[in-house]
Amino acid sequence: MALNLIVLGPPGAGKGTQAERFARSRGIPKISTGDILRSAAQEGTEVGQRAKAVMDRGELVGDDVMIEIVRNRLDRSDAQSGFVLDGFPRTVAQAAALDRIMKGRGPLIVINIVVPEAELVRRLGARMVCDACGANAAGPETTCRRCGGRLTQRKDDDEAVVRERLRVYQRDTQPLVDYYRTRPTFRALDGAQSPDRVAAALASAVDQMGSALVGHLSGQGPGR
């Protein structure tokens, strides 16, 4: 059975780090719409420039663009055995579109990483990003450990923009929790713990739900 995972959480919750860590441990691709959009912005394409302007204001890119990006990415061969989605879906409309995309591809496991707002503002205010590869790091480092590039503060990590991003998240993305919470494949995790503890809790939750799904499917054999 394919392992299809969504990692939800507000900006600064650590969902990107946890998604990458989990994907690497399971040998499946991490699909980050944020990385795709930043790459397009760096390339200077028309759609990339529009997306960059929206992101710099702390707003969200439109559903139609994001749905098409994800649909195309999930059609690639490396995602057929599973994937980890980071940054999508962000709205109920995107979640409904993803359900349609996933028909016949197995269930979605949804993990929501929860962190208090004050901690999110603190984390984002100290976060740096590599100009070369886009990796995140905590200050006061100035050089990227991954590629040696220069670390700078993201424009959308300015405190005023951070608070706007959290407001937009609460308004538009938090309803996803209500959309998914009644599913047996949904879990909420405490993201205020250390990264190692969050990673362990995430892996345990996924494995428990995966085992339950296998058992349920096994029980639906012929004649049931």
DSSP, collapsed to helix, strand or coil, labels residue 165 as helix
- Active-site option among 30, 38, 73, 90: 90
Band of pLDDT at residue 13, cut at 50, 70 and 90: very high
pLDDT computed for residue 222 by the predictor: 43
150 tagged catalytic: no
- What is the rounded average pLDDT for all residues in the chain? 85
Tell how strand 127-130 and strand 136-138 pair up: antiparallel
DSSP, collapsed to helix, strand or coil, labels residue 114 as strand
- Active-site option among 30, 52, 127, 187: 127
How large is the average pLDDT for residues 15-21? Answer: 93
DSSP, collapsed to helix, strand or coil, labels residue 181 as coil
How large is the average pLDDT for residues 133-145? Answer: 76
Flag whether pLDDT at 73 surpasses 90.
no
127 tagged catalytic: yes
Band of pLDDT at residue 223, cut at 50, 70 and 90: very low
pLDDT computed for residue 140 by the predictor: 64
Q: Which two tokens stand for residue 212?
A: 């339950």
By the 8 A CB rule, do 54 and 60 touch? yes
Question: What pTM did the predictor assign?
Answer: 0.76
Of residues 55 and 201, which shows the higher confidence score? 201
How large is the average pLDDT for residues 68-92? Answer: 87
- Active-site option among 38, 73, 165, 187: 165
- Active-site option among 15, 21, 30, 187: 15
pLDDT computed for residue 156 by the predictor: 64
154 tagged catalytic: yes
Domains and CATH numbers, the chain: 3-117+161-218 (3.40.50.300)
- In 3D space, the residue among 198, 140, 179 whose CA is nearest the CA of residue 15 turns out to be 198
Flag whether pLDDT at 217 surpasses 70.
no
DSSP per-residue string spanning 11-44: TTSSHHHHHHHHHHHHT--EEEHHHHHHHHHHHT
- Active-site option among 26, 50, 57, 154: 154
How large is the average pLDDT for residues 65-91? Answer: 86
- Most confident residue range from 31-35, 65-69, 80-84, 169-173: 80-84
**Of 47-56, 76-85, 96-105, 157-166, which range is least confident?**
47-56
Q: How far apart are CA 33 and CA 65, in angstroms?
A: 10
Band of pLDDT at residue 139, cut at 50, 70 and 90: low
The secondary structure of residue 1, as a DSSP letter, is: -
Which conformational region is residue 223 in: left (phi greater than 0), alpha (psi within -120 to 50 degrees), or beta? left
Cis bond upstream, residue 89 (ω within 30): yes
Q: How far apart are CA 170 and CA 210, in angstroms?
A: 29
> Which amino acid does the sequence have at 173?
T
Flag whether pLDDT at 123 surpasses 60.
yes
**Of 27-31, 43-47, 60-64, 72-76, which range is least confident?**
43-47
Percent with pLDDT over 70 in the chain = 89
Q: How far apart are CA 170 and CA 168, in angstroms?
A: 5
Tell how strand 108-114 and strand 3-8 pair up: parallel
Beta bridge partners of 112: 8, 188
pLDDT computed for residue 47 by the predictor: 65
Please give the span between the terminal C-alpha atoms of the chain, in angstroms, as a whole number: 20
